[in-house]
Amino acid sequence: MIEVNNLLFSYPKDNRFILKIKEFHVEAGEKVAIIGPSGSGKTSLLKIIAGIIHPDSGTVHVGGTALHELDDPARRNFRITRIGFVFQELELLEYLNVLDNIVHTYRINPVLTLNRQARVRAHQLACELGLGDKLGRMPSELSQGERQRAAVCRALLPSPGLILADEATGNLDPANKAHILDLLFLAVQQGNTSLLAVTHDHELLPRFDRVVDFLSL
């Protein structure tokens, strides 16, 4: 599902940060956790795999597609239809209610269709994550954990082949951490989906197929 080779990336005007990865892979249907210190580049790697940022050199293949060869619009369309990303910053829009945040990607991108099936799935996901009675609320009316669950719903809505999670359970109590992980793992099981998750929560690591120390890449 993911193949990264000879990757080199640096941010413009920041000579202090250079990301180098010789080789990294995730198989189809595999659940992989990445651990490592803050600031080491874990989030940057997720964004490169999602096609949000472009490497300076090297190759990035996701599901057989060479992302490093695509232009910005093509990478965006690929990400929208094939990848579910749970951002560490959550990226909820404060002027939209919970339901509209969950389906927002469908409203603004022509490569997705907001039909009845998508609406039903949005409601089902919200109910499974305990947000069924909060769909009309604004993000400011939610707890941090509820905001995080809304972001997970949005990421899972298109039934992506790859889920990228950046601290998806970071602000949740133990019961909700387990519930969110159950839902992510169920998505993997049902769709032969791959899961790549950055986490600092070492209590969750035994549930993954493989744990990668970022500093060893």
pLDDT tens digits along 4-23:
999 999 988 777 889 999 99
Which helix (H) or strand (E) segment holds residue 3: the answer is strand 2-10
- pLDDT tens figures, 90-149: 789 999 999 999 999 999 999 999 999 999 999 999 998 889 999 999 999 998 889 988
Residue where the block lists tokens 């998750």? 197
- Cα dihedral 50, 197, 216, 66, rounded to 10, equals -20
What pLDDT, on a 0 to 100 scale, did the predictor assign at position 176?
Answer: 80
Helix residue spans in the chain (DSSP H)? 42-49, 72-82, 98-108, 116-128, 144-156, 174-191
Could you tell me whether strands 83-86 and 162-166 are parallel, antiparallel, or unpaired per DSSP bridges? parallel
Closest among 191, 161, 196, 203 to 31, alpha carbons compared: 196
Q: Could you tell me what percent of the chain has a pLDDT over 70? A: 100
Categorize the per-residue pLDDT at 84 as very low, low, confident or very high, splitting at 50, 70 and 90. very high
Write down the pLDDT at residue 35. Answer: 96
Per residue in 173-184, pLDDT (tens digit) is 888 888 888 889
In the chain, the percentage of residues whose pLDDT exceeds 90 is: 74
What's the angle, vertex CA 24, arms to CA 21 and CA 29, rounded to 5?
Answer: 155
SS3 203: helix
DSSP SS3 for 62: strand
| pLDDT higher than 90, residue 39 | no
- Over the stretch 67-83, which tens digit does the pLDDT of each residue have? 999 999 999 999 999 99
User: Could you tell me which CATH number the domain at 2-216 has?
Assistant: 3.40.50.300
Please state the domain extents for the chain: 2-216
